[in-house]
Structure 1
Amino acid sequence: MYQDAFSAVPRPAPPFRSSVSSVADFKTHISVSTLTGIAYGYWGVTTQSMTLENGMIAGGLCSVSGMLPDLDSDSGVPLREISMFVAAVVPVMMIQRFRDYGLSHESMALGAMLIYVAIRFGLFEFFKRFTIHRGMWHSLPAAASAGLITYLVTPCESDGVRAYKAFGVVLGFLVHLILDEIWAVEVGVGRIRTKKSFGTALKFFGSDPISNVGIYAILFGLIYTAWSDNEIAARLRERAKYDLTAPGWQIDADPSPGSWPQRGWTKPNLQDPAWQPPQFGIGNSTSDESRWK
């Protein structure tokens, strides 16, 4: 009887037990990154003289990139959502670069299909098989790499607009990492405790040396490519301009004299009494005797 009486009394919860999840979930990440993207797009349009279209694109990139770090998670939701989005959007963003290379419409369509297949069934399969959750993809160099990739696939006449869009991706990536670190802190009664996952998101190096070397090799390669991107693009545009396989540059298959263009002058008839030699300003007479008098 006494046991039943005491069991009715509610027991205090442990100091660090909380109804909040131990990690920020998918909805939290996408909601916060979306709000950040709206603010970022508004800032670019109102203070940086960006067009409304560029502001909306940068804000959308910031929103979607809030899912990027979870590509290495065990849950398939972020991987599925971001893979379909990136595989569909990247070929569209590459249209201007295809035009710079002088590709035909058929070549553009083929290139877009190849990029979609490579991203959808190649790149993201690599993430699924060879990455671990909270590995080096959850890191600051990974955020910089995502921004540089965005810079390369979004060619524009202004480098400032490209950098604005690329930083939107970096910002969304950083929002995700910051939320992971915030959720790794537990606030109890009068004290604060950090979990084992604290410090595994906002980091420069991980515990695996091979992963560290790999991510920094990718980062430095992207830095070099982005630095020389304008020069490379200029060379490719010049090459496309003088493409010898384009119509008009081929050698005529019929080199016979009959196919040669006709000359614009004819040999004068010296026997014609009406013919007069041209005057060269030396004298009115063209005879040798009068020329030297």
Structure 2
Amino acid sequence: MANFATHTGVAAALGSSLATLLVVSDQLSLPASMALLVFFVAGTLLPDVDVDKARPVRWLFNIFAVIAMLIAIALVQPGLETSTSIWSVSEPQLPGWPVLVAALAAWLITRYPLAWFFQRFTRHRGLCHSLLVGLLWGLGWVYLGLEHLAVDPLLVWLQGVAIFMGFILHLLLDEIYSVDLEGVRLKRSFGTALKIYQKDFLFGSLMALIGVIILIWLLPWPHEMLTWMQLWIR
């Protein structure tokens, strides 16, 4: 299994190259390209979210907590992400404390009870290492970005793809490190990292499949991304 440094190092190198290409070819702005790099690297950490008390888990649940905080703010104060008038003393729309309480509660619940529950009832290289869950992460972010965070449709779809591609990179690196090139043999861990679903956890795999189907049903057709890709290829 590749270690944390290998996963993040390879992801950063590949993601930086792609981000640079997008900027140089004038396909995306620098901030948008850098955001894709962040999502790509984050995607490489996601399969290890089930490792108890590991550094990727702490990083990931800190990120999840921030996202939960942003969603809570958007729900309590719609339009806050696009307007600064709420912070104006002369034009208050809502007291500041409901927003702060919602944000703090969302952060604490996600960072501690949810993280504990997730690590307690998952095992490493289980369902979280399946492509079904990788699709859930990518499509789930697209749904959150479109429905709650008002992210640009093109950018949020590209970010979802970046998450999924980073997720696949992690699985591929784990499989590569399961090959002992010096002894020309396969380690016992070979074949456990890259899989479509978890064979010995069919219920969980079925729930993940249902989640993917529901998200595909709810999400709009990615016209913006497909048009962007066609223009880039030309």
- TM-aligned CA deviation for residue 48 of structure 1: 6.3
The answer to whether residue 46 in structure 2 is matched with residue 68 in structure 1 is yes
2:157 and 2:22 mapped to 1: Cα distance?
Answer: 12
Residue 35 of structure 1 aligns with which residue? 13
| Partner residue of 1:145 out of 136, 141, 149 | 136
Instruction: Kindly indicate whether residue 114 of structure 2 is the aligned counterpart of residue 123 of structure 1.
Output: yes
Change (3 A) 1:182 1:100: same
> Residues of 2 paired with 1:201 and 1:227: CA distance?
31
| Deviation (angstroms), 1:43 | 3.3
In structure 1, which of residues 173, 194, 203 is the aligned counterpart of residue 167 of structure 2? 173
Q: 1:224 aligns with which of 217, 226, 234?
A: 217
TM-score by length of 1: 0.61
Deviation, structure 1 residue 217:
2.3
Which residue, out of 63, 66, 70, partners 1:85? Answer: 63
Aligned length: 205
Whichever residue aligns with residue 169 of structure 2, its letter is: V
Question: Superposition pairs for residues 11-26 of structure 1, below 5 Å?
Answer: 23-26=1-4
Which residue of 2 is the match for residue 197 of structure 1?
A: 189
Confirm or deny: 8 A CA contact 2:46 2:60 kept in the other structure: yes
> Are the aligned partners of 2:7 and 2:44 in contact in 1 as well (CA < 8 Å)?
yes
RMSD between superposed Cα atoms in Å? 3.0
Q: Are the counterparts in 2 of residues 36 and 63 from structure 1 also a CA contact under 8 Å?
A: no
Gapped runs of 5+ residues in structure 2? 87-92, 222-234
- Greater helix fraction, Structure 1 or Structure 2: 2
CA-CA distance at 1:89 after TM superposition:
4.5
Q: Is the 8 A contact 1:91 1:112 kept in 2?
A: yes
| Identity among equivalent pairs (%) | 26
- 2:68·2:110 contact (CA, 8 Å) conserved in 1? no
Do the aligned partners of residues 50 and 101 (structure 1) sit closer, same or farther apart at CA in structure 2, a change above 3 Å counting?
closer
Q: Aligned AA for 1:199?
A: G
Name the aligned partner's letter for residue 37 of structure 1. G
Q: How far did residue 123 of structure 1 move?
A: 3.1
Any idea what the Cα deviations from partners look like across 1:216-266, whole Å, max 9, x if unmatched? 1222233233349xxxxxxxxxxxxxxxxxxxxxxxxxxxxxxxxxxxxxx
Structure 2 CA distance for partners of 1:111 and 1:166, relative to 1, 3 Å: farther
Paired residue for 1:184? 178
* CA distance in 2 between partners of 1:149 and 1:158 (Å): 15
State the SS of the aligned residue for 1:154. helix
**Is 1:71–1:78's contact at 8 Å kept on the other side of the alignment?**
yes
Bigger shift: residues 102-111 or 85-94: 102-111
Q: What is the letter of the counterpart of residue 183 of structure 1?
A: Y
Larger radius of gyration: 1
Give the superposition deviation at 1:61: 1.6
Query: Which is bigger in relative contact order (C-alpha 8 A, separation at least 6)?
Result: 2
* Structure-1 residue corresponding to 2:79: 99
1:212 to 197, 201, 205: 205
* Residues 73, 102 of structure 2: 8 Å contact kept: no
Cα–Cα, structure 1 residues 108 and 58, in superposed 2: closer, same or farther, change >3 Å? farther
* 36 and 96 in structure 1: CA distance in 2 versus 1, 3 angstrom threshold: farther
Instruction: Give the partner amino acid of 1:78.
Output: P
Distance 2:74 2:13 in 1: 29
**Deviation string for 1:155-192 (max 9, x for gaps)?**
34642211111111112211111110101111235xx3
Using the TM superposition, name which of 128-137 and 214-223 deviates more: 214-223
